[in-house]
């Protein structure tokens, strides 16, 4: 059964794609893996999408702590666009 996404994920993904980024959804990987992988201007970004008051669950928190690279959390399209450097 497909894993559910946060209510704002489709909007954030669409807005990130509008600026020319590529997006691979990862939410079905599970085990705390963040929601999307974004490629923009030659760089990769791993982003966990949360709603306004959403929090990381235990698996997600563990993934974020043990990952030896950058991982960000975005609650809005504006936050996601700032993370990838599309806006200031």
Domain borders along the chain are 9-84
Report d(CA 43, CA 5) in Å as an integer: 24
End-to-end C-alpha distance for the chain, whole angstroms: 38
Upper half-sphere CA count for residue 45 (Cβ side, 13 Å): 24
Report d(CA 58, CA 18) in Å as an integer: 32
The confidence score (pLDDT) of residue 6 equals 83
The neighbouring-strand residues paired with 40 are 43
Q: Mean pLDDT, consecutive 10-residue segments, the chain of 88 residues?
A: 79 98 95 97 98 96 97 98 97
Q: Which CATH number does the domain 9-84 belong to among 3.30.499.10, 3.40.1350.10, 3.10.105.10, 3.30.420.40?
A: 3.40.1350.10
The confidence score (pLDDT) of residue 2 equals 56
The confidence score (pLDDT) of residue 4 equals 79
């Amino acid at each position: 059964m497909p894993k559910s996404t946060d209510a704002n994920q489709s909007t954030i993904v669409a807005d990130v794609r509008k600026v020319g980024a590529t997006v691979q959804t990862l939410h079905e990987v599970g085990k705390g893996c963040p929601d999307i992988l974004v490629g923009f201007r030659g760089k990769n970004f791993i982003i966990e999408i949360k709603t306004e008051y959403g929090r990381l669950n235990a698996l997600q928190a563990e993934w974020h702590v043990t990952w030896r690279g950058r991982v960000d959390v975005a609650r809005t399209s504006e936050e996601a666009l700032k993370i990838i450097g599309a806006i200031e």
